[in-house]
Amino acid sequence: MSELESRGAQGAPSHAAVRAGGDALSWSLKLLSVGPLLILVVLVVAVAIVTPAFVSPRNIGNIMAQTAVIAVVAIGQHLVILTRGIDLSVGANLALATVIGALVYTVTDSALLVALAMLLTGAAVGAVNGLVYVFGRLPHPFIITLATLSIARGLALEFAVGHTTMRGMPEPITIVGGGTTSIFGLIAIPNSFFVVAGVVALVFVMAKAMVWGRWIYAVGGKPEAAVQMGIPVRWVLVSVYVIAGLCAGIGAIILSGRTEAGSPLYGNLLELDTIAAVIIGGASFLGGRGHLGHALIGAVMIGVIRNALNLLNVDVFFQMIAIGLIIVLAVEADVLRNHLEARVRVLQAGRLN
């Protein structure tokens, strides 16, 4: 953003003070918009100085692998939050998907079928969320996704019949989830990183270049207006929950591949991690504001904090406290941004002459 005025600039000298105020405001808004990235960079530099092991190729690979699941699921969560929604079921959905995948593996060796089963499970739970929310005329998706959280977790435990881990995954899936690819022999990039990159590229194109993406922002910005403008709001909403479910399914492939197992206990509190990632990254909890980068920055930040505190031998409970504090910071930044924008509006009205 350059200065907020270009045509208002010909104002009388008496407006100089107004303009200076506007510049300060626009600077603050700019700072807020790059805030999360700035914090991440500062964090990385600080940790790297304290523990040089943090920036070793091996550890960077670790962070990537540990962040992949949160990142992929957070991308789906981000789309849901853009429409003023929330999906609490993604963690349980992921667990159910790994269990179904493991069950399919007991009857067939086909990696394709196992992967497909996980994706379909994820999408199916997402479809239930979206359809019940929209056509059940629920006021908010909180309750239905809370219900499917419980149902999916229960189904996962039921289908696992007493096992907490169901060992074994087809080799291609373990390669996708746990393998690495060496780049010029310098650094071993986890294959899951490429999966995340692929999902990011796909969702980026859909959200930025396609009509569907514009509709998501419209629905999140003002649902009533979206109806008046003839946008198929209901189907837009259903689609984001299906995609959030699909992302949970992709997360299931990565996690079960890395651990070479399915488990009904996977993805515990993943819904909170992904919501935290989206909010920490700088997307608005009120909907309509934010982009893919926010979800990714947030996911990486969570990964970096966990990894750094591990390296520093900090108690695991402090990780939770640290992430909680950052969430508060992020939400306050969102509030501050809305406040500053209201001030900019008033200045705009004052500048007309």
Partner 1 sequence: MSAAAAPVLVVRDAQKRFGAVHALKGVSLEAYRGEVLALLGDNGAGKSTLIKCVSGVHSLDEGEILLDGEAAAIHNPAAARHAGIETVYQDLALFDNLTPAQNFYCGRELSFPSWLPRGLRFLNVRAMDNEARSVIDRLKVKLPKFDAPVALMSGGQRQAIAVARATVFARKIVILDEPTAALGLRESRKVLDLIAQLRAEGNAVILITHNMEHVVELADRAVVLRQGRKVGELKPSRDTQQELVSLIVGAEA
Among 218, 252, 254, 305, binds partner 1 (CB under 8 A): 218
For partner 1, the binding residues in 198-217 under the rule CB under 8 A are 209-212, 214-215, 217
Structure tokens that stand for 138 in this block: 């629920």
- Name the segment binding partner 1 (CB under 8 A); options: 168-176, 218-226, 246-254, 294-302: 218-226
| 313 sits near partner 1 (criterion: CB under 8 A) | no
Residue 125 identity (one-letter amino acid): V
Report the alpha-carbon distance of residue 27 to residue 31 in Å, rounded: 6
CA distance 302 to 111: 31
Residues contacting 83, CB < 8 A, separation 6+: 216, 219, 220, 236, 237, 240, 287
Three-state DSSP class for residue 167: strand
By beta-carbon proximity to partner 1, the closer residue of 49 and 210 is 210
Q: How far apart are CA 140 and CA 118, in angstroms?
A: 27
Site for partner 1 in 1-30 (CB under 8 A): 1-2, 4-8
Q: Tell the smallest beta-carbon distance from residue 20 to partner 1 (Å).
A: 15
Residues 231-260 vs partner 1: string with x where CB under 8 A? xx--xx--x---------------------
CA distance linking residue 79 with residue 96, whole number of Å = 22
Give, as ranges, the residues between 71 and 130 that touch partner 1 (CB under 8 A): none
Does residue 180 sit in helix, strand or coil? Answer: strand
User: How many residues contact partner 1, by CB under 8 A?
Assistant: 40
- Strand-pairing partners, residue 166, are 262
> What letter represents residue 17's amino acid?
A
Q: Residue 295 Cβ, how far from partner 1 at the closest point, in Å?
A: 17
Which range touches partner 1 (CB under 8 A), out of 37-45, 132-140, 157-165, 230-238?
Answer: 230-238
**Residue 261 bridge partners (DSSP):** 167
Interface ranges with partner 1 (CB under 8 A): 1-2, 4-8, 209-212, 214-215, 217-218, 220-222, 224-226, 228-232, 235-236, 239, 288-289, 341, 344-346, 348-349, 351-353
